[in-house]
Structure 1
Amino acid sequence: MAKRVLSVGQCVPDTNSLVHFLTSHFDVDIDQSDVEADTLEKLKQNPYDLVTVNRKLDADYSDGIELIRKIKSLPEIKSSHFMLVSNYPEYQEEAVDAGAEYGFGKNEYENPETVSRLKRYLG
C-alpha cells in the first residue's frame, strides 16, 4: 500500500524533481499544497505519512519553519511527520527545534543517506 506524502510550497521544477526522487525510491502517492490555508485544510482532512515543507513557500515566500510550528500547535491536525526541504543545516536544525524530523535539501536527492532517512517514514 502506497504511503501518502504532502509536498508543501515547492515551485514547479522543484515539485517535478521531488516527485521523481520520491517515486523512484518509494511507493508513494503525493499531494501538493502551495499556501498555508490549503495545507491546513488537507492536513485536517487526510492522514499523511510524511509532509515535506519548503523553507520558503514558493507561492507567497512565507516561512516554512513557521508553518511547521503553527501546524504542530493545532490539536485538530492529525499527527504527521514533517521534514524541511532545505540545503542549509542551520535551517534543518531550526525545523527540528520546531518539531520536524531532520529533512533534506534539493541537492541531496541522490544521496544514499537521504533515501535511508526517508525509509523510516516511507519504506
Structure 2
Amino acid sequence: MIMSAKIFLSVGQCDMDHGSISRLLLGKLGVKVQRADTAIEALEALKKSSFSLLLVNRIFDADGDSGIDLIRKVQVIAPSQPVMLVSNYMDAQAEAQSLGAVPGFGKSALDRPETLEVLKSFA
C-alpha cells in the first residue's frame, strides 16, 4: 500500500520565508508544502484539496491581508481544519488561538527543536 505524503498549505509568506518553511518541512519531516499567496487562493485550495495543516502568516506578503481574518473564515467553512499562525507577536498568537487555531510559532523560532516537534504532530 502506498501512503500519501502529508501536505501543508503555506499562506501569505514571502518568497524567502516560504522557501525556508518548505525546505525545513520537506527535509526534516518529509512534508510537502503547497503555497497560497492570498486568502482567495487559500480558500480555493481548501475547496479542491485537504491539508494536514494551514500555516498562515500574520500579514500576507502579496497583498497585506490579515492572517487572522483568514483564520476566522476557515473556522466557519472548515472548523476541523488545523490552522496555525506564523507570527512572532504573542498578542496575534493569542488572538489566533482564541479563534480556534492551534498554538503557532514565530519565524525566528522556525529552526528550534520545539517548533519542529509541534509541526511533527501534523506530519
Q: Which residue of 2 aligns with 1:97?
A: 98
Look up the SS of the partner of 1:31 in the other structure.
strand
Which position in structure 2 is the counterpart of 1:81?
A: 82
Unaligned runs of 5+ in 2: none
Cα displacement (A) at 1:50: 0.6
* TM-score, normalised relative to structure 2: 0.92
Identity level (%):
43
AA aligned opposite 2:19: N
CA distance in 2, matches of 1:15, 1:87: 16
| Pairs aligned (count) | 120
Root-mean-square deviation over aligned CA pairs: 1.3
Check whether the contact 2:10–2:33 (CA below 8 A) recurs between aligned residues: yes
Structure 1: 5+ residue stretches without partners = none
Runs of 4+ in 1 over 3 A off after TM superposition: none
1:11 aligns with 2:14: yes
Distance in 1 between residues matched to 2:80 and 2:36, nearest whole Å: 17
Give the residue type in structure 2 aligned to 1:5: F
TM-score, with length taken from structure 1: 0.92
Confirm whether residue 66 of structure 1 aligns to residue 69 of structure 2: yes
